Chains A and B, each alone.
Chain A
Amino acid sequence: MASKNGISRRDEDEVCPVCKSSRYLNPNMRFLINPECYHKMCESCVDRIFSSGPSSCPVAGCRKTLRKNRFRAQTFEDIGVEREVDIRRRVMHILNRREEEFDSKRAYDDFLEQREEMIANLVCRTDVARTEAQLQRYATENMQSIRANQAIEEEEASSFQARMTLEQEEARLRRQLAREQIENERREIQAGREDMLSRLASGSSADAAAIAREGHKVLLKKSSARRSEEDRIRQKQAALRGSELKRSGLSASADMASSSGLIKGLRKIKTPEPEKPYDPFMGYVPEKRDYYTLQQSYPSVYLDRVKNDTRVAAGGYDLREYYARTMVEAFAGLGCFVEDEVAQRSVA
């Protein structure tokens, strides 16, 4: 990289590596770079070579195809830093998960580490193809969540901006108000004093003390009125700030559910299941039986005597209870195969 000789470049003898014209000859010369290969060249060279469409880099040994619209001024003096910042910006743009999307702090930290690793891979040119492929796949798979997060970020940035300007505006207003107040106060005191002097001048000497007291009282009253006015203004400002906060809070709660193979530990966003109708027996149907259909009465010589006995019926005994129990016991466990089920039980 060009880090070794990048420091003393803004000199007069800075030379375009393509056309070899120096700043000495052309003091307005600007150098441009292209993020494809980061080779530096002067503005006139870019115009000359790339005006008629994409062309290959004129630097010897570099066969990258460059386009004119991608050329831009250099931000950092060091080309390496410039490149890293570009890569970082691009990767961060894609892998823009937010902390609140993760299950735990640990998962978020893992994600950050993974991102740094990818950036480092790209910067150091190790495993570039694989990393790029990963990025690409992630970008296509999580288009929506990336967009949503970008929107959130923008919103945050703009709201931050707005808040900053609002605060500045408030501070300015406060200062102005304070200035005006001081001015007003001064003027009032002046006026009061003048008024008092004039009254003293016109009145008798006996009234002097009374006039002086009255003037003092008026001054006090005015200052207390002013104070209440200040309070009112402060309250209004506080209310304004509160509404601002509420608005920003609403926009931040938009979250997106997405599954991706690349990032682990993302919080699962569950959609609540629709509530089922209430079933008091948990799926059990009280009267349902599988082996038999219960009848209202069964023919039995032995039971007929009981059935027709008023002494039994008077006690509240219902023969159907006997039928139900007897039939359940006749078939309870018919399909339970002890040999199999108990063997399974001992295994488990």
Chain B
Amino acid sequence: MIEDDIYRTSSQFRLWSYTRPALASLRTKTNDIASERVRAALQRARPAQQSTTPSAAGTPQPGSDGETKKPEEKQIECLTPEEELILVRYYCEKTLELGETYKPPLPTMVRATAIQYLHRFYLTNSPMTYHPKSIMACALFLATKTDNYYMSLRQFADGIPGETSTDDVISPEFLLMQGLRFTFDVRHPFRGLEGGVMELQAIAQGQAPPAPHIPNQTAQNLLQKLKSIAPPPIPSSSINDRIARAHGTTRETLKTAAQMTDAYFLYTPSQIWLSAFLLADKPLAEFYLDTKLGGPLTETIPDGDAMETDLKNPLYELRTKLFKVLTECSALLGAYTTLSSDPDQMKGLKRIAKKLYHCQNPEKINLKRDSGQPAVAGAADSGQVTSESESERLAKKRKLELEQKARSGASDMFGPELVAERTKQ
């Protein structure tokens, strides 16, 4: 199938598609490495703390030091991969809400892209290392850029509730992009849904051409079949009304359930929208798939007939496989409920947040230092954020150094003298 080959070239399929076990093992691995680092970092941080406490207490006691250390070591309890997942999902929901606060609200596509960025980022990074709160805003801002929805950084930062500077938004950007492996293309199912609905409407008006592999279809018998399918779960006045209703429900599912679950990693966009459609109006979705892949469902007809259609329908194998995948996917989407709607889950979330407060990697809290000017930060002894004038001065100095280097390089075509090096040795 040509369309499938088109999708296979996308970075979403090449780099960001996983099987369930692979996904689980990747998350466990990320969690393990992050916990290791957090423990090491906290260990490193403790002597510094202790050096301050004894001076306040007056007399340092070596014996008591060992006693206090032991229980503390036990206390460092890191998040499990499941807890991390819930946390990330919560911040994905937050992203959706954050998009809503802007005037006008950010397009669905932008919000969905940002959520996928978060999902992808937290596959290889742990919330213990980088707190989702700081990454979230940055992901949304990056999504406005990659989805071609222009917004200035100041405007964006002003829209975020609470005290957020432009620096807070922009500082983890490079880090985030690294986590995304510099692939910003996210294939969403929204546009695909529009296409499907468009075709269904064409069928409803009796204007549909036959599918390439089923030449004996006609617009008329397609319309006949559409009229004769089983009634929808919620009765509707006309076929167009039914299609519009299914469209709306599917869109809502795609906005929420498809974003918050792992559907993007496990399935392709067209599979996602079709399973969401299946969830919204099963008979209609099945009818639509049959117009594409031919043949009725095997369970509705006797065995003998099924064998014959098997022989006739070249897409039979694809169809059975696809139906299996679609039911799996719709089960995944159907099982989703928002975290905020469930008080039990909210309680769990609070517990996780408290836990995270204790096991946050202290070395990574200040993201500005990491991403802003890495080279300068390494050179500067303070480790504090350098002020504007300071960074300017450093930039000037660096420039001067570079110029000097270039000049010395230009004067000597074959590089510096070898003799000098030898005498050094």
Contacts and interface: CB of A to CB of B under 8 A. Distances in A.
Nearest to B14: A345
A330 B17 contact: no
Interface residues of B, number: 47
Given A293-B211, A299-B202, A338 B267 contact: yes
Interface in B1-54: 1-4, 6-8, 10, 13, 17-20, 22
A195 to B, nearest CB: 81
A331 B17 contact: no
B162 interface: no
B195 A327 contact: yes
25 contacts: A290-B2, A290-B3, A290-B4, A290-B212, A291-B212, A298-B198, A298-B201, A299-B201, A300-B198, A303-B198, A327-B195, A329-B187, A329-B191, A330-B192, A330-B196, A331-B192, A332-B4, A332-B6, A332-B7, A333-B268, A333-B270, A334-B268, A342-B17, A343-B22, A346-B22
A325 B195 CA distance: 9
Interface stretch (B317-325, B371-379, B395-403, B406-414): B317-325
Nearest to A339: B19
Contact of A334 (B1, B19, B266): B1
B269 to A, nearest CB: 6
Contacts of A53: none
Nearest to A303: B198
Interface residues of A, number: 33
B199 interface: yes
Contacts of B97: none
Contacts, number: 137
Interface in B325-367: 325
Contacts of A339: 19-20, 266, 325
Secondary structure call for the A interface: loop
A292 B270 CA distance: 13
Given A291-B3, A336-B13, A330 B195 contact: yes
A293 B202 CA distance: 12
Given A299-B201, A299-B202, A300-B198, A337 B3 contact: no
A338 B6 contact: no
Contact of B3 (A285, A295, A333, A338): A333
Given A325-B191, A332-B192, A334-B4, 20 more contacts: A284-B2, A288-B2, A289-B2, A290-B4, A290-B213, A295-B202, A299-B207, A326-B191, A326-B194, A329-B192, A329-B270, A330-B199, A334-B271, A334-B322, A338-B19, A338-B267, A338-B268, A339-B19, A342-B18, A343-B19
A300 B201 contact: yes
A38 interface: no
